[in-house]
Amino acid sequence: MSTLASTTTYLDRIRRARGAMADHDVDVLLVSVGSDLPYLSGYEAMPLERLTMLVVPRDGEATMVIPRLEAPRVVEQPGVFSLQPWNETDDPVALVCELAGRPDVAAIGDTMWARFLVELLGHWGSTTRFVRSTTVMNELRMRKDAAEIAALQAAGAAADRVAAQLQAGDIPLEGRTEAQVSADISARLIAEGHDVVNFAIVAAGANAASPHHHAGDRVIRTGDIVLTDFGGTMAGYCSDITRCVFLGEIDPEVADAYAVLHEAQAAGVAAGVVGVPCEEVDRAARRVIAAGGYGEYFIHRTGHGIGMEAHEDPYMVEGNSMPIEPGHAFSVEPGIYVAGKWGMRLEDIVVATADGPMALNSSNHALVALT
């Protein structure tokens, strides 16, 4: 993973993590494989059996415990953490315990291997209370800082370029299978700068009525709506966009529904204002679709948070009354799905700012007709 952020950024994140630890009475934060480690240190551990762990005491210096053979891959961040390489014959969990002392409360990374947690329980189980790292990290991770917003913008722009190629007719559709088009889109995501492709849904005709359709050997023909929903990871941050195109002259029923969808998506984006509950974004989009007569065909939440992970907090769903904060990044992706006939979805990533919602995708929102 390339490191976009500066040492200052990591220092700031560790400082804010310590603030959250103080708020929640956490004595030590232990993060391993997963996104919290690169978020705090710029280093992404390979998901190996050998332990890599960042030990962040609330007061003392942070230390990265790492297999000696992996240590050369770490870009050191002076003042952020020190490196503690361990040898093949060392017990790395004992090393972590030494560094952490005997905490009353330890926050454990969600995606740490269970084997290491079980060993920690063996060391501390009787006196230490274990909580999830999300207690400390969720508020931080939701509120994207400037480096993260820049990374999301770059990933969004790269996905936009692929969407524009689709809408320009540069990606052949007629006579090709969904799977072939999915492979084509995936290659273009990489060509535009993504490091990995996370998904490339291509659903034609009635298949588009299944929101997470797996691209298959259905051949795309004139008269099909083609729903594409794709994204990848670029410099550690995710893109995610949905655009639909129509092969041939747009069916009037489809055009009518799409006009409602387009208005609903714009209403959802506009509702993404700081201080407004997350569920308001869902309600705003859903109101338009219901008023258009398609309410029963909008069968999922309106959006999800996005960052180092393709789906993360906050979720734009009824029941989530958490107020939107500056730096929250999320999708707005209402859909209309008529089983057996067609489906459609329109998705942008939005970042909430003090000046209002900022969409990271700007490729054409219309249902483009291709021949």
Q: Least CB distance from residue 279 to Zn ion, whole Å?
A: 17
Paired strand residues for 177? 219
Which residue's CB is nearer to Zn ion, number 9 or number 331? Answer: 331
Residues 262-291, interacting with Zn ion (CB under 5 A): none
Site residues for Zn ion, window 305-364 (CB under 5 A)? 331, 347
Nearer residue to Zn ion within complex by CB, 133 or 239 = 239
Q: Minimum distance between the CB of residue 240 and Zn ion, rounded to whole angstroms?
A: 4
Among 123, 143, 341, 365, binds Zn ion (CB under 5 A): 365
Q: How many residues at the interface with Zn ion, by CB under 5 A?
A: 6
Min CB(339)–Zn ion separation in Å:
20
Closest separation between CB of residue 278 and Zn ion, Å? 15
**Taking Cα atoms as reference points, which of 227, 170, 182, 171 lies closest to residue 204?**
227
Q: How far apart are CA 124 and CA 120, in angstroms?
A: 6
Which is closer to Zn ion, CB of 116 or CB of 337?
Answer: 337
User: Shortest distance, CB of residue 262 to Zn ion, whole angstroms?
Assistant: 6
Nearer to Zn ion, 12 or 256 (CB): 256
Taking the complex as a whole, the smallest distance from the CB of residue 77 to Zn ion amounts, in Å, to 32
Burial of 276 (0-12, 13-18, 19+ CB in 10 A): middle
Q: Using CB positions, name the residue nearest to Zn ion.
A: 365
Q: Give the residues across from 181 on adjacent strands.
A: none
In the complex, the smallest distance separating the C-beta of residue 350 from Zn ion, rounded to whole angstroms, is: 11
56 CB-near residues (< 8 Å, 6+ apart)? 14, 17, 18, 21, 28, 29, 30, 31, 40, 62, 81
Residue located via tokens 């103080």: 22
Q: What count of other Cβ atoms lies within 10 Å of the Cβ of residue 240? A: 26
* Contact set for Zn ion, span 18-47 (CB under 5 A): none
Interacting span for Zn ion (CB under 5 A) from 86-94, 213-221, 223-231, 250-258 = 223-231
Q: Which is nearer to Zn ion, 287 or 365 (CB)?
A: 365
Q: What distance in Å separates the CA atoms of residue 81 and residue 57, rounded to the nearest whole number? A: 11
Of the pair 167, 331, the CB lying nearest Zn ion is at: 331
The nearest distance, CB 43 to Zn ion, in angstroms, is 27
Find the binder of Zn ion among 36, 44, 160, 229 (CB under 5 A).
229
- Tell me the CA distances in angstroms from 55 to 29, 63, 175, one per residue in order: 6, 5, 55
Spatial distance between the Cα atoms of 159 and 166, rounded to a whole number of angstroms: 11
Nearest to 170 by CA among 370, 344, 345: 370
Enumerate residues 230-249 that contact Zn ion by CB under 5 A.
Answer: 240, 242
**Binding mask 176-215 vs Zn ion (x if CB under 5 A, - otherwise)?**
----------------------------------------
**Contact residues for Zn ion, defined by CB under 5 A:** 229, 240, 242, 331, 347, 365
